[in-house]
Chains A and B, each alone.
Chain A
Amino acid sequence: MATSPILDEMIRRVVGGDLEAFAEIIRVCQRPVRAWIVSRCPPGGDADDVAQQTFVAAFKRIDDYQIGTDFRAWLFTIARYQLMAECTRLKRMADYHSRYLPHALSQELDRRTEGVAESPTRLTHLRECLQSVESNAREILDLRYGKELPLAEIAERSNRSVAAIKKHLFVLRQKLHDCVEKKFAGEAV
């Protein structure tokens, strides 16, 4: 897919050394790139740093991009290589798999990273599915994922046990997963 004429014009300005234009490109592209990196980034990796390195590398190589081709695909390819480098770094740390990430899951993430990199459809579906979550359940998700509170604090705030919160989160994730899968299945029909 070719890049829009407006984006191509911004890229021409970046090639000319215009950092404002580059800032605009980051503004436009950072969310899908970050989302893809976040979804594939293994524990211990810094997804935002990988995203930042992606844009820095893109700026340094902007001459390599051919105006009129698919800029987003070019950018995602850089993101994929940056993430692969980060994964390699993590794996070279002693005991990484026995302490942080089961090896089988690491290989599964590698396999997914090596595939086509693009704005994750799973995120779109997940956002839609979040709309249908009841308010008290949404509150638990906000505390866990939005505020990143420890489970003990979430339990205290909601007058429940840690075990109950764990169970509730598991059920919520499963419901969201089922909802996302239904949307994928609907797309395939």
Chain B
Amino acid sequence: MSQQFEELWTRFLEGELNEEGLASLQDLLASDSDLLRHAGDLYEEHRLLGFALQPFDDQQFVDDTVSIVENDSRQFVGDVLSELRGRSGKLVPQGMTRGWQQSFLAFALAVSILFAGGLAWFFVSRANQPTGGNLYTQSTEQHYIATVLLEDNCIWRASNSPSEGRRLSSQMLDLESGLAVIRFDGGAELVMTGETSLLLHSAGSAELLLGDVVVRAEEEAEGFTLTTPTSEVIDLGTEFAVKVNRIGDTEVHVLDGEVSYRSIDTEDELAKILPAGEGIAINKSGRPRAVPMNSPRFQEFIRRVNPRSRSDLLTAYEGFNYSPGILPLRDSVVGTGWAGPWRKRLPKERKFPATGSSPDYFEIVHGEMNVTWPVPGGRLGSLKLPGGGVYYLRPMADPIRLNQDGVVFFSLMVRETERRTDRDRPRERLRLTLRSSDDFDGQSISFGHGPGYRPTVRTGAGISHTSPLVLPAEQTTLWIGKIVARQSGEDEIYFRVYGEMDVLDYAEPATWHVVTRDVELDANLDLILLSSEGKTARLVDELRIGPTWRSVAPILENAE
């Protein structure tokens, strides 16, 4: 073992290794498989030493875990009751009942309440009794392994056809026509064109049953495995195309790097290496023969599609496109997808914090935002939020429903006028929060930064998910967030902040600054709340809410 490894490894375990050191350690480990295995063993032992020597409160762990299960149980019963109460409420439309109708509806309501009470008793008593049947319905939780990056004129066979931004679990994708790009969580990206049947297995593997795909699996995605009816193709850090015809014969074309391939269901189990520029065909008998390499590259498919902005899909848009100067809040009515103008917080909404200094008007400025992305009208009207504590709300016409399966993106341009670094830790905060008008202080999702200028997502009840990265200072930044809502199971929330030098790709990024965990929300979020606190003024502009990355992100389009 080298002196260099000893030094790097010790600093790594102590959390002292900087990016340069980590790169050096990466080089050492990537070039020596024995050393890598050794490092894996050492890492396990390092972790297990902590496990063996640290005091751990077993009983606390048990109590906390049971407490989570109990809360889930109460939540479930509460949801049932709330659902029934909601249905009961709808039974009595105002001003439409009289006489026997009232009697009948009163009876129906009483039955509903009794039924709800009975159901609650049934669940609660069973939760406390050691006998009886199942307490829970079968879980529908799924393990998600990939994301749909792009769809172009796609016709899918299944009724639950995937759409851009949607997360995918292990499942069959049956494309009839069009082009779709899938990114596996392991990093590989795959373009499928025309009639294609692809079975997603895991974050690093899939099975092509029919059709054409091109796989780009660079660096970190190395090792992606694609099986076909006749062969298994393993990426070795490269780009390759695979075609499977109706009788299962397979062609593999290597566009860059190399792949390992082997026939399956034959006696010859040894894998062979196919280098760039070569193609191979494998029929059912498993015999490979060379064919000319003739597949377009991954990027060529993207270039042909030329993904464009889809602002037509926006569900809400606010560009602050007003004349410069003072704008009374009641006149802030432009934009689309809103159920009313901007307003200040109502008295019942003034809790966190209870005070504020929000003026009754907006200050609109022009030309003060340095816009480096292709945003039409981005240099025109912007909202200047003054120093102090200012809070403005706008109701959305189309709420974000967290109790349904769906994907929502938002983007917002922000200009920081001054980066305060005083030692007294200035309380500088800017947040975009989604709240519910029915339960303002209940569930919410908030994107922004606190005094540390680090991207943060808050999901109510003081739970924060904060990036270690510090936002670029005193420049225009573009905030993009993604919410993957699920009717059942964990919701996923992502947040990334782009600086002026960053270019936005045609599809969502592979990595984000904030990725939440253990978030399960079910509120109807129908209010946008802009909160700015601190001594410095800020500019905000181009608030977009839509169902896909391309609907909110100002992507660079090919000029064709």
Do A and B interact? yes
Interface assignment of B422: CB less than 8 Å from any CB of chain A: no
Whose C-beta in chain A lies nearest to the C-beta of B50?
A145
Q: Would B143 and A85 count as touching, CB distance under 8 A?
A: yes
Interface assignment of A164: CB less than 8 Å from any CB of chain B: no
Chain B 61-102 interface residues, beta-carbon cutoff 8 Å to A: 61-66, 68-70, 72
Chain A 1-20 interface residues, beta-carbon cutoff 8 Å to B: 13, 15-20
**A51: chain B residues within 8 A (beta carbon):** 61
Interface assignment of A108: CB less than 8 Å from any CB of chain B: yes
Interface assignment of A182: CB less than 8 Å from any CB of chain B: no
Chain B nearest CB, measured from A131 CB (Å): 11
**A64: chain B residues within 8 A (beta carbon):** 138-139
Chain B nearest CB, measured from A188 CB (Å): 15
**A134: chain B residues within 8 A (beta carbon):** none
Question: What is the bound-complex CA distance between A182 and B263, given in angstroms?
Answer: 40
Out of B6, B44, B66, which one reaches A170, CB within 8 Å? B6
Most chain A beta-carbon contacts within 10 A, residue among B63, B69, B134:
B69
**A137: chain B residues within 8 A (beta carbon):** none
Q: Would B47 and A39 count as touching, CB distance under 8 A?
A: yes
**A160: chain B residues within 8 A (beta carbon):** none
Out of A55, A63, A91, A108, which one reaches B39, CB within 8 Å? A108
Whose C-beta in chain A lies nearest to the C-beta of B496?
A94
Q: Would B58 and A95 count as touching, CB distance under 8 A?
A: no
Which secondary structure dominates where chain B touches chain A? helix
Q: Would A92 and B511 count as touching, CB distance under 8 A?
A: yes
Whose C-beta in chain B lies nearest to the C-beta of A60?
B139
Known A-B contacts A109-B40, A130-B52; A30 and B494 likewise in contact (beta carbons under 8 Å): no
Known A-B contacts A93-B515, A108-B39; A57 and B141 likewise in contact (beta carbons under 8 Å): yes
Indicate with 1 or 0, residue by residue over A6-41, a CB within 8 angstroms of chain B CB atoms.
000000010111111111001100110011001111
Q: Would A98 and B30 count as touching, CB distance under 8 A?
A: no
**B9: chain A residues within 8 A (beta carbon):** 170
Whose C-beta in chain B lies nearest to the C-beta of A172?
B49
Out of B26, B63, B126, B496, which one reaches A104, CB within 8 Å? B26
**A142: chain B residues within 8 A (beta carbon):** 53
Q: Would B132 and A146 count as touching, CB distance under 8 A?
A: no
Interface assignment of A49: CB less than 8 Å from any CB of chain B: yes
Interface assignment of B45: CB less than 8 Å from any CB of chain A: yes
Q: Would A17 and B51 count as touching, CB distance under 8 A?
A: no
Binds A, one of B17-25, B174-182, B319-327, B441-449: B17-25
Question: What is the bound-complex CA distance between A78 and B511, given in angstroms?
Answer: 25
Q: Would B48 and A38 count as touching, CB distance under 8 A?
A: yes
Interface assignment of B353: CB less than 8 Å from any CB of chain A: no
Known A-B contacts A22-B66, A39-B51; A177 and B138 likewise in contact (beta carbons under 8 Å): no
Q: Would A16 and B130 count as touching, CB distance under 8 A?
A: yes
Indicate with 1 or 0, residue by residue over A41-52, a CB within 8 angstroms of chain B CB atoms.
101000111011
Chain A nearest CB, measured from B247 CB (Å): 33
Out of B44, B52, B129, which one reaches A18, CB within 8 Å? B129
**A20: chain B residues within 8 A (beta carbon):** 130
**A47: chain B residues within 8 A (beta carbon):** 47
**B49: chain A residues within 8 A (beta carbon):** 126, 141, 145, 173, 176
Out of A27, A63, A126, which one reaches B134, CB within 8 Å? A63
Most chain A beta-carbon contacts within 10 A, residue among B126, B132, B511:
B511
Whose C-beta in chain B lies nearest to the C-beta of A184?
B41
Interface assignment of B352: CB less than 8 Å from any CB of chain A: no
**B469: chain A residues within 8 A (beta carbon):** 94-95
Interface assignment of A59: CB less than 8 Å from any CB of chain B: yes
Question: What is the bound-complex CA distance between A139 and B81, given in angstroms?
Answer: 57
Interface assignment of B220: CB less than 8 Å from any CB of chain A: yes
Chain B nearest CB, measured from A56 CB (Å): 5
Interface assignment of B556: CB less than 8 Å from any CB of chain A: no
Out of B52, B126, B135, which one reaches A123, CB within 8 Å? B52
Interface assignment of B513: CB less than 8 Å from any CB of chain A: yes
Interface assignment of B517: CB less than 8 Å from any CB of chain A: yes
Q: Would A93 and B68 count as touching, CB distance under 8 A?
A: no
Out of A19, A99, A130, which one reaches B66, CB within 8 Å? A19
Q: Would A91 and B511 count as touching, CB distance under 8 A?
A: yes
Indicate with 1 or 0, residue by residue over B205-227, a CB within 8 angstroms of chain A CB atoms.
00000000000000110110000
Question: What is the bound-complex CA distance between A55 and B68, given in angstroms?
Answer: 10
Chain A nearest CB, measured from B405 CB (Å): 18
Q: Would A102 and B29 count as touching, CB distance under 8 A?
A: yes
Q: Would B517 and A41 count as touching, CB distance under 8 A?
A: no
Chain A nearest CB, measured from B1 CB (Å): 8
Question: What is the bound-complex CA distance between A63 and B68, given in angstroms?
Answer: 18
Q: Would B51 and A38 count as touching, CB distance under 8 A?
A: yes
Whose C-beta in chain B lies nearest to the C-beta of A47?
B47
Indicate with 1 or 0, residue by residue over B486-523, a CB within 8 angstroms of chain A CB atoms.
00000000101000000000000111111101100000
Indicate with 1 or 0, residue by residue over B461-474, a CB within 8 angstroms of chain A CB atoms.
00000011100000
Out of B42, B53, B62, which one reaches A23, CB within 8 Å? B62
Q: Would B513 and A93 count as touching, CB distance under 8 A?
A: yes
Q: Would B47 and A108 count as touching, CB distance under 8 A?
A: no
Q: Would A39 and B44 count as touching, CB distance under 8 A?
A: yes
Known A-B contacts A16-B130, A57-B141, A105-B43; A166 and B10 likewise in contact (beta carbons under 8 Å): yes
**B514: chain A residues within 8 A (beta carbon):** 93
Q: Would A27 and B58 count as touching, CB distance under 8 A?
A: yes
Question: What is the bound-complex CA distance between A34 and B58, given in angstroms?
Answer: 11
Interface assignment of B127: CB less than 8 Å from any CB of chain A: yes
Interface assignment of A117: CB less than 8 Å from any CB of chain B: no
**B416: chain A residues within 8 A (beta carbon):** none
Interface assignment of B421: CB less than 8 Å from any CB of chain A: no
Q: Would A122 and B26 count as touching, CB distance under 8 A?
A: no
Question: What is the bound-complex CA distance between A85 and B39, given in angstroms?
Answer: 23
Question: What is the bound-complex CA distance between A7 and B354, given in angstroms?
Answer: 53
- What are 14 A-B pairs with beta-carbon distances under 8 A? A16-B135, A18-B129, A34-B51, A56-B68, A60-B141, A64-B138, A93-B512, A93-B514, A95-B511, A102-B22, A103-B219, A127-B52, A142-B53, A166-B14
Please give 17 more A-B residue pairs, beta carbons under 8 A apart, in addition to A52-B64, A102-B22: A17-B134, A30-B58, A34-B51, A39-B48, A59-B69, A60-B139, A64-B138, A64-B139, A91-B220, A92-B511, A94-B509, A102-B12, A107-B223, A126-B49, A130-B53, A166-B14, A177-B45
Interface residues of B (CB under 8 A from A): 6, 9-10, 12, 14-15, 19, 22-23, 25-26, 29-30, 36-37, 39-55, 58, 61-66, 68-70, 72, 126-136, 138-139, 141, 143, 185, 187, 203, 219-220, 222-223, 467-469, 494, 496, 509-515, 517-518
The 9 closest A-B pairs by CB, nearest first: A102-B26, A104-B29, A146-B53, A18-B130, A17-B135, A145-B53, A94-B511, A108-B40, A104-B30
